[in-house]
């Protein structure tokens, strides 16, 4: 099952623990244009709540989220 | 006659439009001003989206919470600062921060509980430290120096305590690059405008 979202960049945070997925996401988004979508892969179960908190705080948009076989996939659109 | 009526109609319409525009502008201005005032009133006066943390302990387990919270805050767009004081100064001491230890004495939360009397034996601190480093390696937690690099990269403010440096004979050259030196007043000025302040 794969999301239909158009992805501009992708980062792999599998195997990394808190807070690295968040920090790497921030770094990646910083280097992107508004409207572009970042795909982020993680295995940290805490990333579900952490990513929700991160988009809520930073104002970016979680376009889609997938979960399966211990891997969490996030699609984040850069806003502003 | 018809032409004059049309002229009058046009003039009236123009006047009405001008009055409407003026009233509408005034209404919009007033509503925006009120919304801004309400937004400002909701925020405590003088507070910034900032977190201020005191790192007062120099053991490996206590070095992590300030570093994790400050880097995460910075990644969330907040301004973050850590004040390293007393034993916490070891965290930014480049001669010491690679060899911070975990004391097993008085620590009932060890993965393998160690009675205090055994924890006091020579070599137990390095055994406990090795255990924690193993565990950190398993979850790929970064080392303290790596966390500090990340913090500086994210513009986390790192403040070394001048008084502690005087007491412990630490020189600025012993500390990692990129730290500022300051006293209690420096930290308090920073924390007085922070929404969140923590003591670790």
**pLDDT score of B118:** 82
Set of chain B residues whose Cβ sits within 8 Å of the Cβ of A58 = 76-77
Q: Which residue has the higher pLDDT, A13 or A18?
A: A13
All structural domains of chain A with their residue ranges: 9-77
Give catalytic residues of A, as residue numbers: 18
**pLDDT score of B107:** 80
Q: Do A54 and B150 touch (CB under 8 A)?
A: no
A43 to chain B, closest Cα gap in Å: 11
**pLDDT score of A80:** 80
Give the DSSP H or E segment for B144.
helix B144-153
pLDDT by residue for chain B (200 residues), tens only, comes to 556 888 888 999 999 999 999 999 999 999 999 998 887 777 666 788 999 999 999 999 999 999 999 999 999 999 999 999 999 999 999 999 988 888 888 888 777 777 888 888 888 888 888 888 888 888 778 899 999 999 999 999 999 999 999 999 999 999 999 999 999 989 999 999 999 999 99
**pLDDT score of B44:** 65
Rounded Cα distance, B84 and B53, in Å? 9
* Sign of the torsion angle spanned by Cα atoms A30, B179, B143, B72: negative
Check whether A1 has a pLDDT greater than 60. Answer: no
**pLDDT score of B45:** 65
Tokens of B168: 């412990």
Q: ipTM of this predicted complex?
A: 0.83
A37 to chain B, closest Cα gap in Å: 18
Set of chain B residues whose Cβ sits within 8 Å of the Cβ of A57 = 76-78
Calculated CA dihedral for residues B121, B126, B132, B137, nearest 10 degrees? -160
Number of neighbouring beta carbons within 10 Å of residue A38: 21
- Quick: pLDDT tens for A20-37: 999 999 999 999 999 999
Q: Which of B68, B71, B76 sits opposite A58 (nearest CB)?
A: B76
A9-77 belongs to CATH 3.30.110.40? yes
Give me Rg for the CA atoms of chain B.
29
């Amino acid at each position: 099952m794969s999301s239909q979202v158009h992805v501009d960049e992708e980062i792999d945070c599998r195997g990394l623990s808190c807070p690295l997925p968040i920090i790497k996401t921030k770094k990646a988004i910083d280097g992107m244009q508004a409207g572009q979508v970042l795909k982020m892969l993680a295995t940290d179960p805490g990333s579900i709540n952490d990513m929700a908190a991160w988009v809520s705080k930073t104002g970016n948009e979680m376009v889609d989220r997938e979960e399966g076989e211990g891997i969490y996939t996030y699609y984040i659109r850069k806003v502003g | 006659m018809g032409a004059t009526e049309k002229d009058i109609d046009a003039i009236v319409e123009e006047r009405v439009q001008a009055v409407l525009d003026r009233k509408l502008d005034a209404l919009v201005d007033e509503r925006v001003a009120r919304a801004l005032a309400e937004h400002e009133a909701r925020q405590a006066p003088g507070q910034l989206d900032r977190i201020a943390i005191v790192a007062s302990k120099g053991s490996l387990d206590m070095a992590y919470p300030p570093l994790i919270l400050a880097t995460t805050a910075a990644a969330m767009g907040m301004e973050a600062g850590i004040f390293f004081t007393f034993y916490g100064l070891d965290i930014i001491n480049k001669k010491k921060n690679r060899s911070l230890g975990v004391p097993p004495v008085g620590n009932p939360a060890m993965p393998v509980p160690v009675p205090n009397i055994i924890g006091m034996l020579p070599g137990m601190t390095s055994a406990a430290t090795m255990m924690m480093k193993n565990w950190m390696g398993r979850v790929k937690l970064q080392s303290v120096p790596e966390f500090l690099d990340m913090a500086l990269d994210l513009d986390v403010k790192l403040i070394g305590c001048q008084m502690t440096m005087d007491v412990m004979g630490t020189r600025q050259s012993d500390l990692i690059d990129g730290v500022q030196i300051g006293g209690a007043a420096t930290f308090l000025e920073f924390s007085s405008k922070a929404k969140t302040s923590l003591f670790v």
